[in-house]
Each structure stands twice: as C-alpha cells, then as structure tokens.
Amino acid sequence: MFREGLAGVLERQSGFEVSGQASTVQDGLAALGEKRVDVVLLDVDLGRDRAMDFVLGASSQGFAGRILVVTAGLSPKEAVQLVEAGVAGILHKHSQPEELCRAIREVASGGVYMEKEYLKGILEALDRTKRDAVPLSEREIAVLRLLLQGGLNKEIGEQLRISESSVKGVLRGLFDRLGVRTRSQLVKVALEKYGEYL
C-alpha cells in the first residue's frame, strides 16, 4: 500500500517517471535490467529479505544508478552498513512529499542525502579511533557538516557566507586528500575518518 501510494505521488511530480515497482529483492534486481533506472527507492524491510541484500545484489550486477533508502525505522548499525555499501541517502517514510522529491533530486544529481535522525546514529556508531587522519580545517568541517545534511554547494555557501566557488574548492581539496571521486564516497570516508568532528 505504501509503495503504490508513493508511486502515485511521484507520478504526479514534474520531472519524475516511475520505471517500475517490486515487492521482493529478486523482482527488484530483475527490474534493473529491464529499464534505465536512475534512482531506486528502497525500503529496509522486504519480508524475508533486507535492504542490504538488494544493495549488494545491485552492486554485483553493475548497477550504476543511486539508491535512496526510505524507511520507517533503521538501527545505527544498519545505517552504517548501508552507507558503507554505497547507498546515497536515507530518508524517513513519514517525510513530506516535497522532502522526498528534494532527496531524490539530490541523490540523482550525484549528491548525498542523510536525514538528521539517521545521520546522528551513523556518527555515534562509527569507529572513532582513526588517529592517522590528517586534521581538517574549520572550514572543511563546516562544509562537510552541511554536505552531510544534504546541502547543495550554493546552499552551503549561503549558510557559511562564502562563494559557491569557494565551496567547490574546499570539496575538490577534500576529494584529493581523501582519494575519492564522488560526493557519496566523500561522505563515506569522511564519516569513517572524521566522524567525531562532524
């Protein structure tokens, strides 16, 4: 019922097309091969299966799209595991349609969306013993914090009162230092190495 209702909401939104629906991991993985899929909205509880089963299966199939977890409940441990496996975002099921659309657009554009409720749990659950990490500057920490909250470059710049190009420069520096190529990889590595500062 939730899945069908969600599909109905998205079909009424400009710029979205629902490529398909699936109630099991097996059906979902099969659907990835039938049409181009940019973003998968994934529940955590899939009957006998869990979200991680789909994430790992999609990865093994070479799925190049993005995965946004939409869930009613998620433990900190599961959240960490899903982020480490490569999901691009976690959103609560009871969020407003506008927030869901924002999250979808953010992950579709290569960004990361983490709802604060789950971000807090992720940060608390991460190993905080990364003593070999090179210290971050105050600006890098500020940019990362806003990035983890789903901020776009322009929004981050506005909140920090710096130019959008300055934000891009900070992110480029972090990409180079941490050896990552995408925003989702940056979030994963930053949480692993600098979770206690964020």
- Sorted by where each starts, the structural domains of the chain and their CATH numbers stand as 2-125 (3.40.50.2300), 138-197 (1.10.10.10)
Instruction: Express each pLDDT in 17-52 by its tens digit.
Output: 888 888 888 888 888 878 888 999 998 877 777 888
Distance CA(159)–CA(165), nearest Å, equals 14
Can you list the pairs that 94-102 forms with residues at least 24 positions away whose Cβ atoms lie under 8 Å? Answer: 97/9, 97/13, 100/6, 100/9, 100/10, 100/70, 101/10, 101/13, 101/16, 102/150
pLDDT of 178 higher than 80: yes
Instruction: Output the pTM of the full model.
Output: 0.63
